[in-house]
Structure 1
Amino acid sequence: MNTALLLLEIQNDYFPNGRIPLEKSLEASAKAQSILHAYREKKMQIVHVQHISTHPDATYFLPCTKGAEFHSSVQPSKGEMIVKKHYPNSFKDTSLLNYLIKNQINHLVICGMMTHMTVDATVRAAYDLGFTCTVLHDACAARQLEFNHNVITAQNVHYAFLAAFQPSYATVLSSDDFLQKAGARIPIAS
């Protein structure tokens, strides 16, 4: 199975002092950083997906802002693919599918922000396109939502979307379990 790591929207606006901070974004990015180090050590395919807002009412990920930049924990290195997107689904109107086909990738390991938006949309689209997905739950983050005057905590939002992935759309693992199953040593995040 040819695998690529997808790092979805790990961008500054989702962190403390950003325009839309997510709960546990720092912890999730540290786990994503560990996975990124493991993929770099093994010289495996890595794709960084960056959202740039083009909607006229957008309040975050605005073009040419610090908030739209990748977080320092997962900065792309030379030679790593960067996909810019404008929708929750990382495949919509991007080069991602062509890149994965060209590199004969059939398995995606997914980390990123937001579990209930981009992670969800990308995993479901990937499944529909024939990819096998593994989502690393502790390398993803969500935020509190509200529905019909009811507050849904970030943790409950996160867990509900992860639970809905199994068993059809994705395998959901912790970062440590994934690295152990992959036979990689767990790098120390700096």
Structure 2
Amino acid sequence: MAKQALILIDIQNDYFPQGKWPLEGVEAAADKAAQVLQAFRQAGEAVIHVRHEFAGDDAPFFASGSEGAHLHAKVMNQGDEPVVLKHFVNAFRQTNLRELLEQRSITDVVVVGSMSHMCIDAVVRAAADLGYTVTVLHDACATRDQDFNGQVIPAAQVHGAYMASLAFGYAGVVSTDEFLKAQAAVA
């Protein structure tokens, strides 16, 4: 029987308006993440938080030990919800994330957080490659404008391109409302 876990990726203070690396639509995405977090808690299902810290004094954001590197209050871990500390884009790289999933006999992962084009993309692809069934809640993820070859690509286009790519071969990509309705239907 399938057993799922919610993985919250890098919903940290520096991504919010007063932080060092603010994302487009981060408040709305965090609200959606908090909504699904509450649903997982109420259902007694596994929740794993992931947060990033850069090593070194020249970190552009998420500096080790800084307030900006802390989990945002909207999705703070509670009780025995583990927090995985990572130093790379991929949350599975040199962390205990896979071990935590295996200890809980998890087969399916639901992913929310930031940034769509980096850490969300990396963890989704890695999880799928490791054999997990993956669902991404697209409206509970955020990113920012990107520069490429002298052109600014708006955050909405960056986000859309990455969600389309993940939906093509790595994950089910749905809204938070769609996911929660489907969960309620099987409960």
TM-score (norm 2): 0.96
Tell me, in whole angstroms, the C-alpha distance in 1 between the residues paired with 2:91 and 2:57: 20
Task: Name 1:152's counterpart in structure 2.
Answer: 153
Shift of 1:57: 3.3
Shift of 1:107: 0.5
Task: Name 2:35's counterpart in structure 1.
Answer: 34
In structure 2, runs of 5+ residues without a counterpart are none
Task: Name 2:141's counterpart in structure 1.
Answer: 140
Tell me, in whole angstroms, the C-alpha distance in 2 between the residues paired with 1:8 and 1:165: 16
Structure 2 SS opposite 1:108:
strand
Tell me, in whole angstroms, the C-alpha distance in 1 between the residues paired with 2:27 and 2:92: 26
Task: Name 1:52's counterpart in structure 2.
Answer: 53
Shift of 1:164: 0.1
Equivalent pair of 2:33/2:112 in contact (CA under 8 Å): yes
Tell me, in whole angstroms, the C-alpha distance in 2 between the residues paired with 1:76 and 1:153: 31
Give the share of equivalent positions with the same residue, in percent: 44
TM-score (norm 1): 0.95
Task: Name 1:174's counterpart in structure 2.
Answer: 175
Task: Name 1:187's counterpart in structure 2.
Answer: none
Task: Name 1:165's counterpart in structure 2.
Answer: 166
Task: Name 1:107's counterpart in structure 2.
Answer: 108
**What does the per-residue CA deviation read over 1:54-80, in whole Å, with 9 as the maximum and x for residues that have no partner?**
155322101111100011100000110
Structure 2 SS opposite 1:90:
coil
Task: Name 2:75's counterpart in structure 1.
Answer: 74
Q: Say which structure is richer in helix.
A: 2
My pick for the range that moved more, 162-171 or 51-60, is: 51-60
Task: Name 1:15's counterpart in structure 2.
Answer: 16
Structure 2 SS opposite 1:20:
coil
Q: Relative to 1, partners in 2 of residues 1:131 and 1:55: Cα closer, same or farther, differing over 3 Å?
A: farther
Equivalent pair of 2:34/2:75 in contact (CA under 8 Å): yes
**What does the per-residue CA deviation read over 1:62-121, in whole Å, with 9 as the maximum and x for residues that have no partner?**
111110001110000011011000001000000001111111101000000000000000
Code of the residue aligned with 1:57 in structure 2: it is D
Tell me, in whole angstroms, the C-alpha distance in 2 between the residues paired with 1:88 and 1:64: 18
In structure 1, runs of 5+ residues without a counterpart are 185-190
Equivalent residue pairs, number: 184
Structure 2 SS opposite 1:182:
helix
Runs of 4+ in 1 over 6 A off after TM superposition: none
Structure 2 SS opposite 1:47:
strand
Equivalent pair of 2:57/2:63 in contact (CA under 8 Å): no
My pick for the range that moved more, 51-60 or 137-146, is: 51-60
Tell me, in whole angstroms, the C-alpha distance in 1 between the residues paired with 2:180 and 2:82: 22
